[in-house]
Amino acid sequence: MRRIIKQRDIVIDEWRYAEEDPLGRKRALILPFDRWIQERKRLWLWDGRLGVRIAPTDPVAALAQDFLRVSLIAIEFDGGDEDQGYSQAQLLRNHYGFTGELRAIGRLQRDRLSYMARCGFDSFELPPGADLDAALHALNDFIVACRGAADADAVPLRRTG
């Protein structure tokens, strides 16, 4: 059982990656972007819930017409160009109007989680062995917003004390 942070709580992940559950028994599958694009018409008719995992180089615009069917988008952070993941999240939330679950996955750093939430992420799948309690606490590291963001309530100035 994989545990994640979702909407500022630690929960058991109800989603499975297609590689973990190729037959879709859990009825909530996250597919790689390329597979979604290739099999979109067939998968649209599947009766389970669908999510799409995107890499930093995948164009989010290609998903803009799929939001009625795709209820989760997982954006990969590979430790390289993290700015692309933040930009993808902002585009999905603010430009394309995605209202489903937006998950950050991969090499997530505790000190970046608050900023990720500001960009629109509402769930976080940290690497195996990560301290989820410390990561959850990191979401509250800031208390004052300097400018608007995808989450109107989060705050970017560091808390004192």
Ramachandran class of 11: left when φ > 0, alpha when ψ lies in -120 to 50, beta otherwise: beta
- Is the separation of the CB atoms in 45 and 69 below 8 Å? no
Helix (H) or strand (E) holding 74: strand 70-77
Which segments of the chain does DSSP mark as H helices, in order?
A: 33-44, 82-90, 113-118, 132-138
pTM recorded for the entire structure:
0.85
> What pLDDT sits at residue 155?
45
Q: Show me where the domains of the chain are located.
A: 3-158
Distance CA 2, CA 30 (A): 14
Ramachandran class of 27: left when φ > 0, alpha when ψ lies in -120 to 50, beta otherwise: left
CATH class belonging to 3-158: alpha beta
> What pLDDT sits at residue 21?
72
Ranges of residues in the chain whose predicted pLDDT is under 70: 22-24, 80-82, 142-161
> What pLDDT sits at residue 25?
73
Q: Encoding tokens for residue 117?
A: 């939430």
DSSP string computed for 59-72 = -GGGGTT-TTTEEE
